[in-house]
Amino acid sequence: STLWYLLLGGRHIDGARLYLNSKAVGRGIREAMRRGVKREEIFLTSKIFPTQYGYESTMKVIKSELDDLGLDYIDLFLLHFPSSGPLGSPCSKEGKGISQCRKETWQALSELRNQGNIRNAGVSNFAVKHIQELEAMTDVAPVANNQISFSPFVPEKTMETVEYCHQRNITVTAYMPLGGQHQRSLVMRDLAGLSTKLGKSVSQIMLRWAIQSGCAVIPGTGNPNHMKETLSVYEIELSDDEMKQINELKYGAKGYMNMDTDMFD
């Protein structure tokens, strides 16, 4: 699916150690490059899960990720989640708290950025306080990106996080712009008329809403037809009234993917 996406014109690939597919992603990228897609046109993201947080562990994780991908560098590397919970990490097993473990991981990413192994460092599912913790460090990489679940249905705290990121020139990448399964069924119903008017699917409309809200989007699919549909969202522009209509879709924000990560230390 990585190869298909790149050959169809897609350029943003989102991965993570947790997904266990780095070797397959790397094969797809290298084959696309063999067929003429330039590496510098591809933007590859990966992530380290909190169970691997810690300075030495992060250094090893990046090396393993690059080896599995078969590439020289990763464009953006993220801390996947603020906390490992009861699972712990190599860092926490040394008696260090989660805040210290995030900082040690960030220090490692900063050094790897200086060495050219990664081009940018960022976070995922981080609340404002977690971002500020990293921003308070000295002589480290700037926080380049925050990847979060973003839709009209997320908690107000998430909206505040997005606004904070925009103010700080931190890019925001949105996953699940249609919300969870419950919200998805409702948005399909309520935007049916707009879908007919624009001649685009509800999925395309919601992706366009996220883009016009100042976010990058990472819809996941292995279907080439769906890939083509996703890549065509740049053909439409939602009016102010249409954006307002979508912003007013409030169905509640229950479920794991819409949790308020500010609850984590």
The residues carrying an active-site annotation are 19
Q: Which among 114, 112, 172, 105 is positioned nearest to 134, based on CA atoms? A: 105
Q: Which residues contact 73 (CB under 8 A, 6 or more apart)?
A: 66, 116, 117, 118, 119
Residue with tokens 């996947």: 80
Question: Is the Cα dihedral 264, 256, 85, 169 positive or negative?
Answer: negative
Q: In residues, how long is the chain?
A: 265
Distance of CA 259 to the CA centre of its chain: 16
DSSP state of 225: H
Distance CA 244, CA 261 (A): 26
Question: 106: which 2 tokens?
Answer: 């960030």
Burial of 230 (0-12, 13-18, 19+ CB in 10 A): buried
Question: 198: which 2 tokens?
Answer: 């624009």
Distance CA 73, CA 39 (A): 10
